[in-house]
Amino acid sequence: MKTKELLAKSTGETLFEHTWRVIQVSQFIVRNLPLPLEQRTNLEKRLTLCAAVHDVGKVAAGFQSVLLGEQRDWQGKRHEILSTAFAANIAEFNHQDLLAILTHHRCIPSDGIKGIHGSLPTEQLPWQESQPALWRQMLDEWNQNREVFAEFWRQVCGAIKRSDLAEFGKVANLQYLGISDEWLERSVKFGQVKRVSAESRREAALIRGLLITSDHLASAHRRSQKIPRLSKYAVLKQSPRHFQEKCAVHQGHLVLRAPTGSGKTAAALLWARNNQKENVRLFYVLPFTASINAMHRRLIDLFGLKHVGVLHSKATSYLYDLQLESETSNKIKAQARAVAKKSLAKEMYYPIRVCTPHQILRYVLRGKGWEQMLSEFPQACFIYDEIHAYDPRVVGLTLASARLFASWGANVLFASATLPKFLERQICSVLNIDQSSVLAPDPNFPTDLEILVKKRHIVEIRDGSIENRLSEIFESSQRVNSTLVVCNHVKTAQQVYQQCVDYWGKDGIVLLHSRFNAKDRNQKERKLAEKSLPRILIATQVVEVSLDVDFDQAFLEPAPIDALVQRMGRVNREGKKPPAKVTIFSEQVNPHPLYDKERVKASLTELAKAQNPLGENDLVSITDAVYGDGYTGDELVAFEEGLNHPDIVEFDNRLLAGAHQDWIDEVIEKAGGSIELLPKVLLKRYEQLMKNGLWLEASALLVSVRFVSLASLPDGVINKHHDPWIIDCLYDSELGLQFYYGYSDTN
């Protein structure tokens, strides 16, 4: 093959252009790490060399032919193996650097017992004592372009001011990897973990993570954003409350308990401003995607679009809608930009990120790309909001992660409106802090007292269920402008909606639950966010987290106190009106027990004993009384499993450089136990959108359904041979997905 310039991409980007971009990106990233100057300088020197050689294997004639469109593929041959063999000629590369180069696309080979997706093929790896046939073929193809490579390498060496290395372009002898086989051995008893020190393994993983993210960003023609000093940005438009002032000067870990609407988020950001060291990143962690999207918008307003990324399983669709709102009406371009921004949020690009706890756990449990956290998490600021909303196992995993981050010099804040005392004690124990690091509004100061004395609700516990008290709900709704009805199950909400429509007509009656597709649900939520509330909103627990609304009254099915507090937070939200009536029924319509019966019973008992009207301190006291000493039974087992997870507790001892745990992605993506299904009635619309290249809009037609809800559906209702699966049940934009009568239904 004859070519004047070596290529790196099929787009025509040359090998030198790409290599130089990776070098520049890697240098910028390292210079902006929260490390001492001497360490950054040494790391930059090493990473520069790794970036310089990481793609030299692409010189091979066959690989170049693929890029030029002269042949279809390179039959599975791996260019990074050639790159590593070349680097082995240069004495400055140690085993850690060589491992990073070798595994910057694929992980170390499988253990031979089970296949591991994305692992290097052992049959191509050359050793001093073994030269596989495939390796010899790759080497022959590389040598065909030896002359043009020498010129490329001279150019690279000139760019990095290392002309002393230029001779290797002509004399380098690619024979073997130059790395000990122990680095590529997964065996627990005889492999890398057993034979290589934890310090060396961690160093190799750090270099690998930096090289991979530099390569990804350079390929996207992007460079990381410079980390802003948060102290230069105003997070409050008015004078701070006393507890916010305390947050603004507190140094180190903090537990913050502050009422809804009191300025809790601003207080957390004031804490982050005070605790941010040079080049330190901020991670804002929230339990639900809707609240994450809202926080993303808020942080964009404060810190600017270029500084804030968002990361959750449905972030691409959210970013697509945001793109259409702000920049372009070209849907194909908006789609491409949304995908690009979602990808950038996974890299070391945005210095501020809003995400779910599962995205943090993806790294901690060593899912794909976990090495990046070794650069980002040390010294970082983490804000965990409403931790008690997580299931007990995730709470345990999150606390274990916080303990690990604290050992790396990170600062962690846990914020909540109604944090149970037992969780507060657990957090203090994990972070090794005392009551001086637990902060709440202080009634001795007028600005704090103002929010503590607010009495927002008058709560009444009524016998019966929503179903047999509908006439009372209808009558009461005539006396106010807006009423919220919250049901525990989708089917109940659909039935109540139909009865409301029969009574009132469709005008002013809205239904909201998880079994609408994203297109219809987003439309409903946007209308509700405009503050023009309907006469009656019938919703499931999705209303607890997704809406900043303010109803005049509410009727609720029974639930644990923390869920009830969130529902009540959608009534008289700012506390600027007289106390609003909240009626909680003692029974739910659907017999399926969505919550722990004893906790629900205790919640209603404590609420019934409380003196009306209720304020925030009353709700905190009730929460403490309901939870008592903490989790019990299966919840306690799940919590302790998470808190003592060996992959976190023994992080360094178990660290395997150059590899990730295959199962993590599946666990994280399916953490909610749900699957996306396409209603059959929307199939034609889906196919048309896909044909037009609008796959994001097509995916917005899918409905998320929990696996447990599908268990009792008869054969034939779901077509599993189609991608995505098709469900043959009724669907419309008013009621959402409707299961036939008698089917299991657990929202």
CATH class of 253-448: alpha beta
How long a stretch of residues is the chain? 747
Q: Which residue has the tokens 């995908």?
A: 339
- Confidence class for position 686, pLDDT limits 50, 70, 90: very high
- Confidence class for position 743, pLDDT limits 50, 70, 90: very low
CB 266 within 8 A of CB 237: no
Residue 399, phi then psi, degrees to nearest 5: -65, -40
Provide the pLDDT for residue 663: 65
Q: Give the Å distances, CA to CA, from 446 to 442, 451, 512, 669, 683.
A: 9, 9, 39, 46, 59
Provide the pLDDT for residue 747: 44
714 or 143, which is more confident: 143
Q: Which residue has the tokens 């042949």?
A: 71
Q: How many Cα atoms sit within 13 Å of 267 on the Cβ side?
A: 31
Q: Round to whole Å and give the CA distance between 737 and 741.
A: 12
As annotated, the residues of the chain forming the CATH 3.40.50.300 domain(s) are 253-448, 454-629
Which two structure tokens, joined as six digits, stand for 742? 């008698």
pTM: 0.92
Digit-coded pLDDT (tens) for 266-321:
999 999 999 999 999 999 999 888 788 889 999 999 999 999 999 988 888 888 88
Average confidence (pLDDT) over 220-246? 94
CB 625 within 8 A of CB 155: no
Provide the pLDDT for residue 744: 37
Q: Which of 258, 270, 252, 265 is nearest to 292 (CA)?
A: 265
Average confidence (pLDDT) over 525-548? 83
- Confidence class for position 188, pLDDT limits 50, 70, 90: confident
Q: Order of strands across the sheet with 553-556? A: 509-512, 536-539, 483-486, 553-556, 580-585, 455-462, 614-615
Q: Round to whole Å and give the CA distance between 727 and 686.
A: 13
Contacts of 322 (CB under 8 A, 6+ apart): 297, 338
DSSP three-state, residue 739: coil
Which two structure tokens, joined as six digits, stand for 260? 């809804």
Most confident of 125-134, 327-336, 460-469: 460-469
As annotated, the residues of the chain forming the CATH 1.10.3210 domain(s) are 15-219
* pLDDT score of 562 more than 90: no
Residue 352, phi then psi, degrees to nearest 5: -125, 130
Average of per-residue pLDDT values in the chain: 91
Angle between helices 597-609 and 616-627 (to 10 degrees): 140
Average confidence (pLDDT) over 424-438? 96
Number of Cβ atoms within 10 Å of the Cβ of 237: 6
Q: What string of DSSP letters covers 236-288?
A: -SSPPPHHHHHHHH--S-EEEE--TTSSHHHHHHHHHHHH--TT--EEEE-SS
Q: Give the Å distances, CA to CA, from 674 to 6, 53, 313.
A: 47, 44, 12
Provide the pLDDT for residue 536: 96
CB 202 within 8 A of CB 655: yes
530 or 489, which is more confident: 489
Least confident window among 73-77, 490-494, 690-694, 704-708: 704-708
Assigned CATH for 15-219: 1.10.3210
Average confidence (pLDDT) over 714-735? 90
Instruction: Using a pLDDT cut of 90, give the percent of the chain over it.
Output: 74
* pLDDT score of 3 more than 60: no
Which two structure tokens, joined as six digits, stand for 289? 């995607």
The amino acid at residue 525 is: E
The sign of the torsion formed by the CA atoms of 539, 545, 546, 547 equals: positive
* pLDDT score of 714 more than 90: no
* pLDDT score of 100 more than 60: yes
Residue 201, phi then psi, degrees to nearest 5: -65, -40
Residue 691, phi then psi, degrees to nearest 5: -60, -35
Q: Give the Å distances, CA to CA, from 66 to 11, 216, 539.
A: 12, 20, 55
- Confidence class for position 185, pLDDT limits 50, 70, 90: very high
Number of Cβ atoms within 10 Å of the Cβ of 747: 21
DSSP three-state, residue 653: helix
Digit-coded pLDDT (tens) for 654-682:
999 999 987 665 555 444 567 899 999 99
CB 514 within 8 A of CB 485: no
Angle between helices 421-431 and 616-627 (to 10 degrees): 80
Provide the pLDDT for residue 665: 57
Q: What string of DSSP letters covers 132-158?
A: -HHHHHHHHHHHHTHHHHHHHHHHHHH
CATH number of 454-629: 3.40.120.10, 3.40.50.300, 3.90.1330.10, 3.90.79.10?
3.40.50.300
Q: Give the Å distances, CA to CA, from 353 to 132, 348, 652.
A: 45, 10, 25
Q: What string of DSSP letters covers 356-401?
A: -HHHHHHHHTT-TTGGGHHHHSTT-EEEEE-GGGS-HHHHHHHHHH
Digit-coded pLDDT (tens) for 582-625:
999 999 999 888 888 999 999 999 999 999 999 888 998 999 99
Which two structure tokens, joined as six digits, stand for 262? 């009191």
